[in-house]
A and B are shown apart, each in its own frame.
Chain A
Amino acid sequence: MKRRTFIQASATLSTLSFAAIPPAWSSPMPDAPRVLFVLLRGGMDGLTAAPPLGDTNYLAIRPNIGIQRALRLNADFGLHPELSSLHRLWQSQQLALIHSTGFLYTGRSHFEGQDIMQTGLSTPYASSSGWVGRTMEHAKVPGGVAISIPMPMLLRGNQRSSTEFPNWMPNLRGTDTAAVAKLWGDDPTLAGFASAIHDANVGADSNGMGRGKFQEVRSMRGLARVAAAQMRDEGGPRVGLIDMRNGFDTHANQGAETGSHATQLRTLNELVETFQQEMQQAWKHALVVTITEFGRTAAENGTTGTDHGVGTCCFVAGGLVSESRVYADWRGLEKKNLFEERDLPATIDIHAVYAKVLQRAFQIPEQTLQSNNLLTFRPHPSLRSLLPV
Chain B
Amino acid sequence: MNQPADSTLVSKFTRRIAFGRAGDQALPADPIGWAVEQLAQDPAIDILELDGSRRADLPADMVLHTDINKVMHAFATHQRLEKESFEKAKTLSPSEYEDYRERTIGTPYWRLEHWKEVQARETTALFGKAPVFERFWHFWTNHFMVAPGNQNNDTLIGPYQRSLRPLMKGSYRDMLWHAVTHPAMLVYLDNNRNTGPNSKAAREKWTKDSINENLGRELLELFTLSPSAGYTQKDVEATTLILTGWRDMKPDKWHKGEPLGTYFDFNRHEPGSQEVLGKRYNALFKPSSKLEDLISDLAAHPATALHLATKLCVYFLDDQPPTEAVNHVQSVFIHSKGHLPTVHQAVIEVCWAHIGKTRKFVSPETWLLQVLTVCGMEPPRTIPLTKTTPGHKTPYILGDLGQELPRCPQPNGWPILSSDWISKEMLDRRLRVLSVLANQAQRAGQLVDLQLKLLGAVRRDLPAESIARGLFESARDNRDLRLALIAYFASPTMLWS
Contacts and interface: CB of A to CB of B under 8 A. Distances in A.
Interface stretch (A189-197, A273-281, A347-355, A373-381): A189-197
B420 to A, nearest CB: 6
Interface of B: 150, 190, 193-195, 197, 202, 208-214, 217, 221-222, 227, 233, 236, 361, 400, 402, 409-412, 415, 419-429, 431-433, 435-436, 467-468, 471, 475, 480, 482-483, 486-487, 490-492, 495
B427 A175 contact: no
B433 A108 contact: no
A303 B423 contact: no
Q: Taking chain B's interface residues, is the majority helix, strand, or loop, or is none over half, making it mixed?
A: helix
Q: Which 10 A-B pairs have the closest CB atoms?
A: A302-B210, A163-B425, A151-B423, A169-B432, A149-B402, A163-B423, A303-B193, A187-B492, A245-B409, A196-B424
A180 interface: yes
Contacts of B431: 172, 176, 180, 197
A288 to B, nearest CB: 22
Contact of A307 (B212, B421, B433): B212
A41 B415 CA distance: 15
Nearest to A340: B233
A303 B192 CA distance: 10
Contacts of B217: 108-109, 308
Contacts of A111: 221-222, 410, 412
A118 to B, nearest CB: 12
Contact of A176 (B190, B402, B482, B491): B482
Contact of A109 (B227, B402, B490): B227
Contacts of B221: 109, 111
Interface in A44-93: 64
A57 to B, nearest CB: 19
A311 B424 CA distance: 35
Nearest to A151: B423
A302 B211 contact: yes
A19 to B, nearest CB: 18
Given A150-B423, A251-B214, 19 more contacts: A9-B424, A108-B217, A112-B227, A149-B425, A150-B426, A151-B422, A162-B425, A164-B425, A167-B425, A172-B432, A176-B486, A179-B490, A182-B471, A183-B487, A197-B427, A201-B428, A301-B213, A302-B195, A305-B190
A340 B209 CA distance: 22
Contacts of B422: 151, 189-190, 193
21 contacts: A108-B236, A146-B423, A151-B422, A151-B424, A164-B425, A167-B425, A168-B400, A169-B432, A170-B432, A179-B471, A180-B431, A183-B490, A183-B492, A193-B423, A252-B190, A301-B211, A301-B213, A302-B195, A302-B208, A302-B210, A303-B210
Given A180-B490, A307-B214, A251 B190 contact: yes
B483 A302 contact: no
A128 interface: yes
Nearest to A170: B435
A251 B191 CA distance: 10
A303 B150 CA distance: 14
Interface string A152-179: 0000000000111101111111011001
A193 B431 CA distance: 12
A41 B409 contact: yes
Contacts of A301: 210-213
A172 B427 contact: no
Nearest to B468: A183
Contacts of B400: 167-169
A368 B8 CA distance: 50
A124 B475 CA distance: 47
A184 interface: yes
A226 B350 CA distance: 46
Contacts of B428: 167, 172, 197, 200-201
